[in-house]
Amino acid sequence: MEWKTVNASGRKRVIVTKTLPGGRWLEILRDADCRVEICRSDAALSPDEIRSAIGSRCDGAIGQLTEPWGETLFAALKAAGGRVFSNYAVGFNNVDLAAATRYRIPVGNTPGVLTETTAEMAVALTFAAARRVGEAERFLRAGKFTGWLPTLFLGQRLWRKTIGIIGAGRIGEAYARMMAEGFKMNILYYDLRPNPDLEASIQDLGRFLESRGEAPVTCRRTEGLEDLLSQSDCVSIHTVLDASTHHLINAARLSMMKENALLINTSRGPVIDEAALVAHCRKHPDFRAGLDVFEDEPALKPGLCDLENVVIVPHIASATGWTREGMAVLAAANVGAILRGDPVWGQTDITPFLGKALPHAAPSIVNARDLGLPMVQGQRGRSDSMGTLYP
């Protein structure tokens, strides 16, 4: 693999397993006196390749969600003098958090800059699936369009329908509000914890609509996932991936959904049993799905690409310049702050890190409490971008 070195005179060595967008993240690491070594390959690095890159001396690392950071890598990082790892992602299902904590290595992530961006992609997939955009575009590009027809690509109207949110963290909440505010959809959500802010905002919107002589919109947390699946016209997944949510949507639960329902996933691929989804979509041609993530990414389960009633995009939900550069800033700020001995931010609002003056803190360390790291402003509130379904 080809590696590029930046600030070769830096006294602390940090490896970065992929080239990251923007330049401010490098300035942050330079200011922390870091020598930064960046892998320039687009291929996912294997654990052996990452361990080789860590070598005998490495103070910190920034890794990717495509890499399995577990016992082997954290042991190697600790042996090399490593003091911090940051995942270039809001999720950290690729990280063995317990192993990192055993080796006393803080693990950073990048919440707060993906929220609206990811929610927007969920909206885009929702309407692309509902209005059969992918099918229609392929039809047109193939030269099959000979003129307007009354029955050409009839899709679904979502206005005033019911949307179901699985996981009402910040991204799920943002998506719910977009659908309620923009398309007057009623909200059902399923999450371990109530989301009073979401419920209050939809209630306020309902009162406003009533004041204008319109029917209100509603928001309700369901007691069970099955209730949400059976009642929703569209279901959008925004939960973390862990042992409890693996194949959360399986053949049995797909059968509970309406025959013409929509299923949207911008969280993690293995939340859906992809083979079961392929079989369900073949059996129910009016059922539609929009997927940004896949179970065996980057591979797709056999038959998925052949389905006209599925919209698929290559894991681009966070792919705006502003968001991806912001993620790089947060990942670098996590590493730089820990190497300087700064405390953890301890707030859900990370926007100060996106300004010119960087706070002297690590924006987000997910195992900060377990490691007993000092916090800038007390206890962290509800900061998860993805909703939690089970304890």
What DSSP letter does each residue of 282-322 carry, written as one string?
Answer: HH-TT-EEEES--TBTTB--TTGGG-TTEEE--S-TT-SHH
Place of tokens 């505010």: 181
Q: Give me the torsion for CA of 173, 313, 224, 273, rounded to 10°.
A: -160
Place of tokens 């003091």: 83
Query: How far apart, in whole angstroms, are the C-alpha atoms of residue 170 and residue 186?
Result: 18
Contact criterion met (CB below 8 Å) for 125 and 147: no
Query: How far apart, in whole angstroms, are the C-alpha atoms of residue 81 and residue 90?
Result: 25
Q: Which of 268, 280, 288, 380 is catalytic?
A: 268
Instruction: Of 332, 277, 325, 329, give the one whose Cα is nearest residue 300.
Output: 277
- The Cβ of residue 87 has, within 10 Å, a number of other Cβ atoms equal to 26
Q: Which amino acid, one-letter code, is at 270?
A: P
Query: How far apart, in whole angstroms, are the C-alpha atoms of residue 362 and residue 345?
Result: 6
Q: Which of 30, 51, 83, 315 is catalytic?
A: 315
Pairing of strands 219-221, 186-190: parallel
- Residue 270 is given by DSSP the state G
238 assigned to active site: no
Q: Which amino acid, one-letter code, is at 82?
A: G
Q: Which of 27, 116, 181, 297 is catalytic?
A: 297
What DSSP letter does each residue of 329-364 carry, written as one string?
Answer: HHHHHHHHHHHHT--B---S--GGGGSSS--SSBS-
CA angle 283, 260, 273 (to 5 degrees): 55
Beta bridge partners, 5, equal 37
Q: Where are the beta strands (DSSP E) in the chain?
A: 3-6, 12-16, 34-39, 60-63, 84-87, 107-108, 162-166, 186-190, 219-221, 234-237, 262-265, 288-291, 310-312
315 assigned to active site: yes
Cite the active site residues.
268, 297, 315
